[in-house]
Amino acid sequence: MRFLLLAFSIFLADLCFSQSSDEDSPNFLSERLYGYEDIDFVWKVEGKLQVFLNEGINYLKEGNLTAALANLNDFIKEDSTFWVARYYRGVTYKLLRKLKNAEADFSAVLARKKNSYETMLEMGKIYHFRNNARRAEKWYNQAIQLNPEKPLAYYMKGELELNQGNSRQAIKNYKISIERDPQFSDAKTKLALIEIIQKENIEAGLHYLDDILRKDSLNRIALLFRSSINYKKNPTASLKDLNTLVRINPENIEVRYSRGELLVGLEEFEAAFIDMRKVIQASREDENYFIGQQTTLDKRIDILNAGNYTTRTIFGFDEADTKKIKKGFCLLLVSKYDSSIREFDLVKNANKNSLTLFLKALANEHSGNHQEAFRLYNLALVFDNDITDAHKKRGIYLSELQNWSASEKDFSEVLKINPEIHVIYKLRGVTRYHQSNFSGAIDDFTQYINYLTRDSLELEQPLQFKIYQEVVGYRAMANQKDDHYLDAVYDFLVSDNMRAIDVTLMNNSITQLIIEGDTTKAMGYLNNYLRKTPYFAGAQISRIKILLLQKKWDQVETEIDQAIKIGASPYLHFVKGLVLKEKKNDAEAIKFFTDSIDLAKKLHEATAPPYLERGKLYAKLNKKKQAVKDFEAAKKLGSKEATRLLHELN
């Protein structure tokens, strides 16, 4: 059942790091780890500093961590001795997942104020985050030794034990925390959860929750937990607790959905529809991350669109039909697809109005009856050609049938109605690619990529980045088909598909630009490649060739040394020899030309230039025999200059 799982997720506090941190973290973290205790202190700082500290603490409480850190940093720049600022900055760093910085601040606090219970707790939390149970327990014990009458350190020890699977010790510490403070509800909820698991009885922990709510009738966690436990056997009691939760926080969409789901089970569809409509109105799902593969996110986006269309069009029906549509819609939301379809069929002229046809199509699609869904989307568009989601869905079905031209028309219609649905550019780009309209596909993919990259922070999310790479990969293939190979190379790099790059073809394209005299454009491509993948050997070599043409020896020397560190090759050693020759270091130059020749022999890739250049140096050093031998080797490999030099030596 959905909100039993939701409740358990709260009580287990499955609050894994969603962003990278500078430390490893445990799989399950207590919500209390993210909290902190306020400290009592006397304000003895001058006006400007007081503003910094006050603003820093206020921003911290509001959850604006960036602003909090900025103000606390400003304070500490002016006065690094006031331990209070260090404490709150340490808390801010902890919440920003900068655990090393947090530990440094807390250590500074304890150096000045050794008997700080709150700071000892925070030091324990730092090691708790790091999964270092031994050191975390050490700090919690120090806090207990300092103030054995406070409950929180015992509770945190309980959390530490529970995270390690030691429920007996966890229970012991939770009970001590309750002895210290009978109102300490966090420990009681954990004891309730442990009792449920141990007795394998969902109702086993109710007495703890009842006790919490007798003393605090508005305890959010206890209300949610108890409502989920009562869901099946006592839905009326469950509803009462959910009503209280909605009253406490009417903007909590999870609770709204849970109550709506329960009301559907109680067949109170009018009330359920009100909650479900609130959920839809508050939804923040971005339609532009729709994938079109019936993922959970796709289905949530479908429901959002269906809800918006329903609320716009439902007022055209009489009261009896309106009730049926609301009931059917609620059943659709809780995945009771057959029941929802039956309810829509009861609406007068159900097969002649766009709303019921569209909702039935969606119910059939989500239940896996795609042929019927396709038929119903077609019919819905007969009665209302402006249903963007119906055009989108029909376009996807037509793509699956490889009816690319018809599919493109549907996607174009969506963009005509609402050009802000940027994901359609991706879908239409695919249809254009399959019709060999590669330039049109490139334009569409670029539109969607520009949308995805409008906010670089968005691309830090795994799903968004995965979609971004996928679409760039599509554009790479379109660029390749459209003979824009250098653009394709960059897209292949971005999409992490190095294997698709034909380095020979890339070098030939770069060479063509050089022949045409456009070294600036060639260098622009190569710089882009190397910014994306600094170790891309093909791009490094092409860039070095251009620098050689431009006789920029200092840059060549810098880049050749870096390139050789990454990987040896006959060409790189040859260029290093040229650099040394230019610097009049003939002996070292000969050594690198020799390395180039030896590497080429192993790879069966012998070329004339290393023999030719080494021969010139031998001739310069009056080593005629070696010079002749090199010129003859170069001549066999096709060097006309070697033929001339042999003639001169003889």
Q: Is residue 294 part of a domain?
A: yes
- Contact criterion met (CB below 8 Å) for 324 and 343: yes
d(CA 523, CA 274): 61
Report pLDDT for 168.
93
Q: Tell whether the model's pLDDT for residue 647 goes beyond 80.
A: yes
Phi, psi dihedral angles at 253 (to 5 degrees): -70, -35
Burial string for 431-461 (b: 16+ CB within 10 Å, else e) reads bbbeeebbebbbbbbbbbbebbeeeeebbee
pLDDT tens across 170-215, in order? Answer: 999 999 999 999 999 999 999 998 898 888 888 888 999 999 999 9
- Kindly state whether residues 525 and 646 are assigned to the same domain: no
Higher-confidence residue of 383 and 529: namely: 383
Q: Is residue 361 part of a domain?
A: yes
> How far lies 400's CA from each of 250, 411, 466, in Å?
43, 14, 22
Tell me the β-bridge partners of 14: 29
35 Cβ contact list (under 8 Å, min separation 6)? none
Instruction: Give the domain range for residue 512.
Output: 502-567
Of the three residues 542, 567, 592, the one that is the final residue of a domain is: 567
- Kindly state whether residues 561 and 640 are assigned to the same domain: no
d(CA 442, CA 435): 13
- Kindly state whether residues 300 and 401 are assigned to the same domain: yes
- Contact criterion met (CB below 8 Å) for 390 and 380: yes
Res. 547 pLDDT band, cuts 50 70 90: confident
> How far lies 76's CA from each of 81, 108, 113, 426, 555, in Å?
8, 12, 17, 50, 44
pLDDT tens across 490-517, in order? Answer: 899 888 888 898 888 888 888 888 888 8
The DSSP result for 347-411, as a single string, is STTGGGSHHHHHHHHHHHHHHT-HHHHHHHHHHHHHH-TT-HHHHHHHHHHHHHTT-HHHHHHHH
Burial string for 199-221 (b: 16+ CB within 10 Å, else e) reads eeebebbbebbebbbeeeeebbb
User: Quick one: tokens of 582?
Assistant: 């230019």
Phi, psi dihedral angles at 166 (to 5 degrees): -100, 80
- Kindly state whether residues 560 and 580 are assigned to the same domain: no
Q: Is residue 574 part of a domain?
A: yes
**How many Cα atoms sit within 13 Å of 587 on the Cβ side?**
0
The CATH code of the domain that includes 541 is 1.25.40.10
Q: Is residue 528 part of a domain?
A: yes
Q: Is residue 26 part of a domain?
A: no
Higher-confidence residue of 482 and 19: namely: 482
69 burial via Cβ count (<10 Å: 0-12, 13-18, 19+): buried
Q: Is residue 404 part of a domain?
A: yes
- Kindly state whether residues 314 and 348 are assigned to the same domain: yes
Q: Which of 13-27, 358-372, 382-396 has the lowest mean pLDDT?
A: 13-27
Tell me the β-bridge partners of 29: 14
Report pLDDT for 11.
42
Q: Is residue 360 part of a domain?
A: yes
Amino acid at 175: K
Domain count, the chain: 3
- Regarding pTM above 0.75, the answer is no
- Kindly state whether residues 625 and 518 are assigned to the same domain: no
- Kindly state whether residues 378 and 329 are assigned to the same domain: yes
Higher-confidence residue of 270 and 5: namely: 270
Q: Tell whether the model's pLDDT for residue 17 goes beyond 80.
A: no
- Kindly state whether residues 523 and 613 are assigned to the same domain: no
Mean pLDDT estimate for the chain: 88
Res. 20 pLDDT band, cuts 50 70 90: very low
Report pLDDT for 199.
87
- Contact criterion met (CB below 8 Å) for 617 and 596: no
Of the three residues 354, 384, 418, the one that is the final residue of a domain is: 418
- Kindly state whether residues 346 and 413 are assigned to the same domain: yes
- Kindly state whether residues 298 and 393 are assigned to the same domain: yes
3-state DSSP assignment of residue 29: strand
- Kindly state whether residues 578 and 560 are assigned to the same domain: no
d(CA 40, CA 495): 53
User: Quick one: tokens of 476?
Assistant: 């790479």
d(CA 223, CA 228): 9
% of the chain at pLDDT higher than 90: 58
d(CA 188, CA 595): 74
pLDDT tens across 121-131, in order? Answer: 999 999 999 99
Report pLDDT for 374.
97
- Kindly state whether residues 293 and 414 are assigned to the same domain: yes
Q: Is residue 584 part of a domain?
A: yes
pLDDT tens across 560-619, in order? Answer: 888 887 777 888 898 888 989 988 999 999 999 999 999 989 888 889 999 999 999 999
Of the three residues 375, 390, 418, the one that is the final residue of a domain is: 418
- C-alpha R_g of the chain: 35
- Contact criterion met (CB below 8 Å) for 335 and 341: no
